[in-house]
Chains A and B, each alone.
Chain A
Amino acid sequence: MTILAKPVAIARAASRALDKTATTKGASAATPRVKPLEDERTVRPAAPVARRAPGGRAVIVDNLIKTYDGEAGKVRVLDGISFDIGPGEKIAVLGKNGAGKSTLVKLIGGVEQPTSGVVHRGLSMSWPLSFGGGGIANTMSGLDNTRFIARIYNRPIDETIDFVADFAELGKYLRYPVQTYSSGMRMRLAFALSMAIDFECYLIDEVLGVGDQRFQKKCRDALFGKIDNSAMILVSHHRQTILEYCTKALVLKRGRSRLFDDVEFALDLYSTL
């Protein structure tokens, strides 16, 4: 087993883990380990069964495995991920580039199918909001996109259009094809659309930092303020955002994951990865 991080950083993280053991409730920090990184691959993630919400109203991910067939052989991007999210829970997904964060989000959102394992979606889920503006057709105008989304999610079309026009503030550009939009405008539209549907669980893939200051604030207010009781899976590298809003953190490394109730500790651990 190779040690990837600096020994000093590991020691610091480990001592902090020991300090926190008394105060954290979660199963992740319950067993104090001197070297939290060394035997990481052999430790099973905390069993999610105990915290499962009644009536199946939760997003439950159980032993998720995703393998891609590439030119250079098979790549196992996710290797047995398990966790669950109850209504209103906000969870951060941390990991280096290529750790499988976006893949995880795509699997949870049902964009791709897992090689094995189960994703139970007990909450109404948004589509993954990512940089590409996924879920938006480029050749159609913003209005036609809005109509399509309203139809797909069974919402009244006129109200949805009103909301999107008001939230995205795209003005007359709403009538132009999306392919003529700038990336910021595209994100405005995508955000407005997902807000208009009012999901119970939002999947957000590193897009909170898009758009101008005012729109960013608007998004934050909408996401974390008005619909405070919606759950969220947030992929972000932005420490402040995560600390402020998330109650749990999932750290991904080489396809394995660990769930932490202590977000600050998870962020520290992540910075040593």
Chain B
Amino acid sequence: MTVATETNDRRNATARLARYGDGLRDFLSRLATQWRVIRALMIRDMMARYGRENIGFLWLIGEPVLLIGGIIILWSVMKGSVTHGVSVIAFALTGYSMLTIWRHIVSRGTNALKLSTGLLFHQNVRVLDTILAQILMESISTFLSFLFCYLLLYLFGFVELVHDPLLMVLAWVLMTLFSGGFALCLGGLVEMSKPIERMIQPVMYFMLPLTGAFYMVDWMPQRVRDFLLLFPMVHAQEMFRAGFMGPRLTYYYDGWYLFVCGIIAFWLGLAFIKHAERNLHVA
């Protein structure tokens, strides 16, 4: 018994030392833990969804590739090779990649709260971690599938070299930020009220035209343009296309507007999630 107390005391002393130790080191170690947990969650998500059968987690890229590729073929058949002076293939590739990340992030982020309750059994895993992991996963995998499609199309000469990769990556990151924030908000709201949960499907469906995937803002009359530019998704879409197709077309976007919207959405989403977590019932 005394031996046990002694070792405990020693352990306490070291624990106290560690606690009063370098604040920065503490912060960094917490950050490392956070990253470790999110990384583990991402790998888990990959394994749980695709497993090791046939091409395994490569489906993570394969699924969006099939979707984007199918749309490219469909639109090329429907609209010919050029529409409004824009190559249909480039138009469909950029539009559908952005649309895919928007739809996937919002739907997965919203459902994450329900699907991942089993994960909360582990103390390091909080609701927010599971949703962040989903958001990151979707963003990265869809980006990889975009790259894959782009590379194929480029090699076969269907699209030109991208004009400004950095602008595209920036648009992608900001879109992830905004749709992630939006997903967090919806996830929290869905947990709080059943009617909202029922309304999500139609609302998301009617929001499809507001993502800017099916048109360019430049084609629209002034009034419609002003209305469309209220939606951050349109800004992200225009920004992405500006990076892809270069300055021979006119684009309407404001990176800062998108950024601020993303931050606000994320901030609201964190508050909602915090509230929802309090009332979460894990069966």
A: which residues have CB within 8 A of B?
A: 53-57, 68-69, 87-88, 106, 109-113, 115, 121, 125, 127-128, 132, 134-137, 139-141, 144, 147-149, 151-154, 177, 229
Is B15 in contact with chain A by the CB < 8 A criterion?
yes
Contacts of A151 in B (CB 8 A): 36, 39-40, 43
Contacts of A177 in B (CB 8 A): 51
Please name 15 further chain A to chain B contacts, defined as beta carbons within 8 Å, in addition to the given A112-B280, A132-B283, A151-B43, sorted by A numbering: A57-B15, A111-B121, A115-B278, A121-B123, A127-B121, A128-B121, A134-B118, A135-B118, A135-B122, A140-B51, A144-B47, A148-B40, A152-B36, A152-B125, A153-B124
Nearest chain B residue, comparing its CB with the CB of A190:
B121
Query: What are 22 A-B contacts with C-beta separation under 8 Å?
Result: A55-B15, A57-B11, A57-B12, A57-B15, A110-B120, A111-B121, A113-B278, A115-B278, A127-B121, A127-B122, A134-B121, A135-B121, A137-B44, A139-B49, A139-B51, A140-B47, A149-B122, A151-B36, A152-B37, A152-B125, A153-B124, A154-B33
Q: A112 and B123: CB pair below 8 A?
A: no
Of the residues A128, A140, A229, contact of B48 by C-beta under 8 Å = A140
Is B279 in contact with chain A by the CB < 8 A criterion?
yes
Contacts of B283 in A (CB 8 A): 132
Identify whether the interface residues of B are mostly helix, strand, loop, or mixed: helix
Nearest chain B residue, comparing its CB with the CB of A150:
B40
Contacts of A125 in B (CB 8 A): 123
Identify whether the interface residues of A are mostly helix, strand, loop, or mixed: loop
Contacts of B51 in A (CB 8 A): 139-141, 177
Of the residues B8, B43, B123, contact of A87 by C-beta under 8 Å = B8
Say how far A188's CB is from chain B's closest CB, in angstroms.
17
Is B77 in contact with chain A by the CB < 8 A criterion?
no
Of the residues A55, A141, A152, A229, contact of B12 by C-beta under 8 Å = A55
Contacts of B13 in A (CB 8 A): 55
Of the residues A88, A110, A141, A148, contact of B123 by C-beta under 8 Å = A110
Give CA–CA (A49, B193) in the complex, Å: 40
Say how far B125's CB is from chain A's closest CB, in angstroms.
7
Contacts of A152 in B (CB 8 A): 36-37, 40, 122, 124-125
Binary per-residue interface labels of chain B (1-39) against chain A in the complex, 1 for a CB within 8 Å, 0 otherwise = 000100011011101100000000000000001001101
Contacts of B9 in A (CB 8 A): 54
Q: B123 and A69: CB pair below 8 A?
A: no
Of the residues B12, B48, B121, contact of A54 by C-beta under 8 Å = B12
Contacts of B16 in A (CB 8 A): 55
Of the residues B8, B36, B282, contact of A154 by C-beta under 8 Å = B36
Contacts of B119 in A (CB 8 A): 135, 137
Give CA–CA (A222, B245) in the complex, Å: 64
Q: B118 and A136: CB pair below 8 A?
A: yes
Give CA–CA (A137, B125) in the complex, Å: 14
Give CA–CA (A220, B272) in the complex, Å: 43
Is B277 in contact with chain A by the CB < 8 A criterion?
yes
Say how far A181's CB is from chain B's closest CB, in angstroms.
15
Give CA–CA (A3, B122) in the complex, Å: 40
Give CA–CA (A152, B129) in the complex, Å: 12
Contacts of A140 in B (CB 8 A): 44, 47-48, 51
The winner among A55, A87, A139, A149 for most chain B CB atoms within 10 A is A55
Given A55-B15, A57-B12, also A112-B282 (CB < 8 A): yes
Is B281 in contact with chain A by the CB < 8 A criterion?
yes
Say how far B79's CB is from chain A's closest CB, in angstroms.
40
Of the residues A53, A88, A109, contact of B121 by C-beta under 8 Å = A109
Q: A68 and B36: CB pair below 8 A?
A: no
Say how far A24's CB is from chain B's closest CB, in angstroms.
19
Say how far A52's CB is from chain B's closest CB, in angstroms.
12
Q: A69 and B121: CB pair below 8 A?
A: no
Contacts of B282 in A (CB 8 A): 106, 111-112
Contacts of B12 in A (CB 8 A): 54-55, 57
Contacts of A153 in B (CB 8 A): 122, 124
Give CA–CA (A148, B37) in the complex, Å: 9
Contacts of B39 in A (CB 8 A): 151
The winner among B36, B40, B51, B52 for most chain A CB atoms within 10 A is B40
Contacts of B123 in A (CB 8 A): 109-110, 121, 125, 127
Kindly identify, within residues 101 to 142 of chain B, every residue whose CB is under 8 Å from any CB belonging to chain A.
118-125
Of the residues B120, B121, B281, contact of A68 by C-beta under 8 Å = B281
Say how far A168's CB is from chain B's closest CB, in angstroms.
18
Q: A113 and B277: CB pair below 8 A?
A: yes
Given A54-B12, A140-B44, also A229-B4 (CB < 8 A): yes
Say how far A179's CB is from chain B's closest CB, in angstroms.
11
Give CA–CA (A69, B43) in the complex, Å: 35
Contacts of A149 in B (CB 8 A): 122
Q: A144 and B122: CB pair below 8 A?
A: no
